[in-house]
Chains A and B, each alone.
Chain A
Amino acid sequence: MLDKIMREIENSKGPLTTRELAKRLDIEESALEGMLEFLERKGRLSVYRPGEDCEECGLVSCASCVYRAACPRSEEGGDS
């Protein structure tokens, strides 16, 4: 199962969402999450979970959480 995940990701021509990957492998998305966490811990791949580090900022996406925590924020930092 873990090999299938790695193969599917490596053979994919573009980026993959966990949802798309779960569909392709015909497994439950939450089960896939568990497997991805394991593979991530092993350093085989990485998973981006928007907002996982900045729950307190309340944004849906961490991607553009420009001035907020972790999405690290720095008071001394101004605009460049």
Chain B
Amino acid sequence: MAAVRTSATVALAGNPNAGKTTVFNNLTGGRQHVGNWPGVTVEKKEGTSRHRDLTFKVVDLPGTYSLTAYSLEEVIVRDFISGEKPEVVVDIVDASNIERNLYLTTQLMELGVPVIIALNMMDAAESRGVQINVELLSELLGVPVVPMVGLRNRGTEELKDAVAAAVGGEARFRGIQVNYGRELEEEIERLQGSIEGEGGVPPEFLGRYSSRWLAVKLLEEDAGVETDITAYCGRDCAVFKQFEDSRRHLLSIFGDDIETVIVDMRYGFVAGVVREAVKRKREDAVTTSDRIDNVLTNRILGFPFFALFMWLMFFLTFFLGKYPMGWIDSLVQGLAKLVNTNLTSPAWLNSLLVDGVIGGVGSVLVFLPQIFIIFICISILEDTGYMARAAFIMDRIMHWLGLHGKSFIPMVMGFGCNVPAVMATRTLESDKDRMITILVNPLMSCTARLPVYALFTAAFFAANQGTVTFSLYLLGIVLAVAMAKLFRKFLFPGESEPFVMELPPYRWPTLKGTLVHMWDRGSLFLRKAGTVILAGSVVIWLLSYLPPGIEYGSSGSLAGMIGRALEPLVAPLGFDWRAAVALLFGFVAKEIVVSTYGALFGVGEDKAAISASLQQVFTPLTAYCFMAFTLLYTPCLATVAVIRKETGSWKWAAFAVGYSLALAWLVAFLIYRVGLLFGLGG
């Protein structure tokens, strides 16, 4: 008669978040200690548990989804099970996600160790309408199954009973193996033969693993197993010769890599088991997010809603922004007057402070409220989860372009700033997709263009500021899409890989979160006003002031000379020399376009005065052309630098500057000429 065992080792395996730690605590109580797995920093927890006459050591293995050699955790789990040979492996399965969890179960059973399934979170499964026939599941898998609710300590005693029965040899383990189909099974058998046969794997290694498991892993091209077998019998041994034959044969049959075929078979096996033993109530699956998505991501309604939200964003930006903008304008004007009347410094210093510094920075700073409001709107759209939907809606267009759906995500980010948006293209796996997305990203209208739109729409389209700005954003999107299509066709031909998206549930944005995001982003604009824009304003002042004695900002100034030299290039678009200068300095940062006009008109920060002066040199048609040109022409200096960095080539950075400049000119020219044809020139 065999001696009754009084001690045993039990390993707890399972997917992450399956409730493994809770079950471990229930089994061991306070009798546990925490350390690390040898040589690594992955936490190892051990404890002891008693049940009747049996004392067993419980080892909590790291949570894993499978037993490949791709992650450290997976290697730890399989090495422990094969090396330490625990008497029982308890596989903690989340009953509410049973189909995913059983994938690991199939692999544990393949290792050839006694497995007990602890079917945890049964309450969560039931509340989700998932009904599991526990007996049938046990029958289909050939292992004991114990239903549990770990959080309420339900099923712990039954699990201990099952472990004790397994250790005492009373439990039945049929250990159903996945059937991989005739062709694969034949090759697995051949490989098993070579592993066990002469010149194969030595017995001490075979003692750790079953030959079937080794054969399957070899066919999966598991790096860990290949290395281990090579260490034992060398690369020229019979095992690898057979492996090469089997591999060649299977590739000729399946035409796909063998790992995919094996994984597919395992999922098929799990799906079959679930189909038999699990019933789901489908009607409970519709959530509030689903209902909202039925409308907002609807194939027909999705675009109008996207356009409506965008329009609303710009309407609110200008409608709400005009009041605080007026206050800041008065404040800056007051400061300029104060300095002008009280400063007894030389005329040039007075002009530098009033026209250059206060005028230049102040003319941009008055648009701060609009910047903050637009960031509030963007924050709300993203915090609710809508921005992810925007990318989802746009994916249809991107797909039609042959571009990756992910490409729209950095493009959406471009509404904030093109610099991080270009960097975000790193998330695209395809180099071609990445290049296209980088090149078209600057066409997405960032917030730096907003002061230009705000200034010009206030001067020429006061009644429709939001709508006109919205049309410019839309123009940017349309042209980005068109250019992407062209680049795909002529520069980077190819197909994009299929794309699936996880949509987060809708959430209510919090006031604190929205304000924090607004400040994070808006404060960068403030910082920029105190650095780049300030420096740019001083340079423009200098060019407008010199040579000495010239009328400030006149065509005889250095700025005027530069502008007149460039004027022939912009004259066909209806622009004068001042526009050429403003656009030239706008290359540093687009906001500088506004401060340049302040300087060239010699009216500094006075927004009303700039507007009045603009009306002298622009018509509504040319004003719109100028805004379109500002939207499209060369990315700012920071964006060009980041394009160079991300593409690793000045060639592509220069191309981005060149093509966008040509595009801006062409589009502005077309708008101007078509507008003239329709009599809109006056």
Residues of A participating in the B interface, judged by any CB pair closer than 8 Å: 1-3, 6, 9-10, 14-19, 21, 23, 27-28, 30-31, 33-38, 41-51, 53, 58-68, 71-74, 76-80
Contact = CB atoms under 8 A, between A and B. Distances in A.
A68 B417 CA distance: 11
A18 B383 contact: no
B385 A74 contact: no
Contact of A42 (B65, B260, B267, B591): B260
Given A31-B97, A31-B271, A46-B497, 12 more contacts: A1-B268, A15-B501, A21-B500, A28-B98, A28-B99, A31-B100, A45-B498, A61-B388, A71-B420, A78-B589, A79-B636, A80-B635
Contacts of A14: 299, 395-396, 399
Contact of A45 (B388, B442, B447, B499): B499
Nearest to A38: B263
**The 4 nearest A-B residue pairs measured at CB:** A77-B419, A66-B416, A79-B448, A31-B99
A44 B98 CA distance: 25
Contacts of A74: 419-420, 423, 642
A57 to B, nearest CB: 9
Pick the most buried of B299, B423, B429, B591: most chain A CB atoms within 10 A of its CB. B423
Contacts of B635: 80
Contacts of B638: 76-80
Nearest to B408: A63
Given A15-B399, A46-B406, A77 B417 contact: yes
B639 interface: yes
B181 to A, nearest CB: 13
A59 to B, nearest CB: 6
Interface in B457-512: 497-504, 507
B100 A63 contact: no
Contacts of A50: 385, 388, 501-504
Contacts of A45: 497-500
Given A43-B497, A48-B499, A64 B416 contact: yes
A37 to B, nearest CB: 8
B303 to A, nearest CB: 12
A74 B264 CA distance: 42
Contacts of A23: 285
Nearest to A77: B419
Interface in B627-660: 635-636, 638-639, 642
Nearest to A9: B498
A80 B427 contact: no
A79 B525 contact: yes
Contact of B99 (A19, A27, A67): A27
B388 A63 contact: yes
Given A74-B642, A79-B524, A79-B525, A64 B378 contact: yes
B513 interface: yes
27 contacts: A1-B267, A14-B399, A15-B392, A16-B500, A17-B392, A23-B285, A31-B103, A34-B66, A35-B267, A44-B498, A45-B497, A60-B382, A60-B383, A60-B384, A60-B504, A61-B504, A63-B412, A65-B382, A66-B415, A72-B420, A74-B419, A76-B638, A78-B419, A79-B417, A79-B419, A79-B590, A80-B419
Contacts of B293: 17
B421 to A, nearest CB: 8
B186 interface: no
A66 B417 contact: yes
B440 interface: no
B417 A80 contact: yes
B381 A60 contact: no
B521 interface: yes
Given A15-B499, A61-B504, A67 B420 contact: yes
Nearest to A48: B501
B502 A27 contact: no
B497 A59 contact: no
B178 interface: no
A73 B257 contact: no
A73 B520 CA distance: 12
A28 B15 CA distance: 15
B590 to A, nearest CB: 7
Contacts of B384: 60
Contact of A30 (B100, B290, B395, B500): B100
B235 interface: no
Contacts of A3: 264
A59 B382 CA distance: 7
B99 A80 contact: no
A80 B409 contact: no
Contacts of A62: 388, 409
Contact of B500 (A47, A59, A77): A47
Contacts of A43: 429, 497
A79 B525 CA distance: 8
